[in-house]
Amino acid sequence: MDQYFTNLGVLPELQQLSIRSKQHKQAGLTAQALAANRRSQAAEASRSHRDQLLRAKRLRHAPYDSFSLGPSHTVQPESPKTRIMQLVTSISAASTSPRDKHKALRALRQLLSEGDALLLAAAQAGAGTCLAKSLVIRHNSAVELKTVFEAAWAITTMAAGPAESVAAVLPTAPLLILLLRCTSTHVAEQSAWALGKITPNADLELEKAGLNVLIG
């Protein structure tokens, strides 16, 4: 057969056509492989993105105690009770700057609003003592008055809680009575609110003392 085409003088052209046909076929297969590879990579990227979204969603709804990021490791987030202990320690430390003390008291006050369990944790951590010390005005600066205001607010919250929480802040009552005459209206009003929560649990003499300051 090849001899026939050779005699016709067209064998070289047929051979070239055959070669080009094979090349086109291979190119077509290569393009299909590349397209399949691209589809596979796109599918893998989509799965990876979906897994990341699911993982992020799980982390947002994870409990306080711990959450898992996979079989290889586990992250232990800081619990609110641990945070309260840290804040009480920071507020009580003599080395804490006035601004940092104010920030710590505000953070503590915000945490105390999250339930009785945290009020009890604060009482057990010694919050009553550090709050009492925070009610003392020495320099009458703006930061100090803000700190006293936060302390009085935290005391108000603890005084509205369970018995152990109330007992922890009862000793602050005499200091709160003195603050009823504070030059800062905000501090005086918050101190009055705190006393309103404490006095039902305090003795009669303490209650009279507070009333005398208010009407005196």
Helices (H) and strands (E) in the chain, counts: 11, 2
Predicted confidence (pLDDT) per residue in 166-203, tens digit: 999 999 999 999 999 999 999 999 999 999 888 776 55
Task: For the chain, 216 residues long, give each residue's pLDDT as a single digit of tens.
Answer: 545 445 445 455 556 656 666 555 555 556 666 666 667 766 676 666 666 666 665 555 444 333 333 444 444 557 999 999 999 999 999 888 999 999 999 999 999 999 999 999 999 999 999 999 999 999 999 999 999 999 999 999 999 999 999 999 999 999 999 999 999 999 999 999 999 888 776 554 455 544 444 444
Q: Are 111 and 118 in contact (CB under 8 A)?
A: yes
pLDDT score for 53:
64
pLDDT score for 57:
55
Q: Are 170 and 127 in contact (CB under 8 A)?
A: no
* Closest alpha carbon to 195 in 182, 22, 183, 116: 182
The model carries a pTM of 0.61
